[in-house]
Amino acid sequence: MAATPFDLAGRVAVVTGANTGIGQGIALALAAAGADIAAVGRTPAEETIEKVRALGRRAAIVSADLSTIGPVNRVVEEAVDKLGGLDILVNNAGIIRRNDSLDFTEEDWDAVVDTNLKSVFFLCQAAGRHMVAEGRGKIINIASMLTFQGGIRVPSYTASKSGIGGLTKLLANEWAAKGVNVNAIAPGYIATNNTAALQADETRNRQIMERIPAGRWGSPADMGGAAVFLASSASDYIQGHILAVDGGWLAR
């Protein structure tokens, strides 16, 4: 019997892009709540694995380049083989390319949409087949403020994250009655490698800070509570929801 509805003991979580930033923050929060972690990424998430094991949990590295859908079935198979199951999937891996829409290239469009949307769907599908067969599972997609807003100079990123919002709802519609919860977290402005250019731009950084009621950029650790909640039995009746963790950005 779980000590609290937020207890993840005995669960196995696959977290993509777990080597740094939001992915690492979520992986560590899930591990602290009791989950074992399969850390998926192009570069080995050795620091994350070390920290997960320091929390007393099992951890495994699954090497995969999610710029194509080639590895998706193997990711699920490896996680199950190495850790004995798959209960939670966090689709965090993503990239961003910036340019004026008048100059945006097909290469930058395809690279972002393939990683952020196409691979996410097919990884949901691969994990979903396993979870539906088991009759339970939790999928957490990482959306964005640009799931709700247009943004500027990131057309393929905005399109991909808007797509994540729709995909999350569609999969919830199909799989809720099969015991699988599909929801998303929409991070606000989080201090990571992906946002380094914005943080370094004095004008944009000031504009962003002025709009965040909390008065600061978020940190990867700020995503942890939402991830544990959506991965746990506490959220069993939540389906197709996009939870903004944004310091109040959308409320302004």
Q: Is the pTM of this model over 0.95?
A: yes
Q: Check if 189 is active-site.
A: no
Query: Which of the four pLDDT bands, split at 50, 70 and 90, describes residue 226?
Result: very high
pLDDT in tens, 112-159: 999 999 999 999 999 999 999 999 999 999 999 999 999 999 999 999
DSSP the chain: --SSTT--TT-EEEEETTTSHHHHHHHHHHHHTT-EEEEEESS--HHHHHHHHHTT--EEEEE--TTSSTTHHHHHHHHHHHHS---EEEE---------GGG--HHHHHHHHIIIIIHHHHHHHHHHHHHHHHT-EEEEEE--GGGTS--SS-HHHHHHHHHHHHHHHHHHHHHGGGTEEEEEEEE-SB-SGGGHHHHH-HHHHHHHHHH-TTSS-B-GGGGHHHHHHHHSGGGTT--S-EEEESTTGGG-
The active-site residue, picked from 36, 86, 112, 157, is: 157
pLDDT of residue 1: 56
Contact 194, 116 (CB under 8 A): no
- The CATH number of the domain covering residues in 12-244: 3.40.50.720
pLDDT in tens, 53-111: 999 999 999 999 999 999 999 999 999 999 999 999 999 999 999 999 999 999 999 99
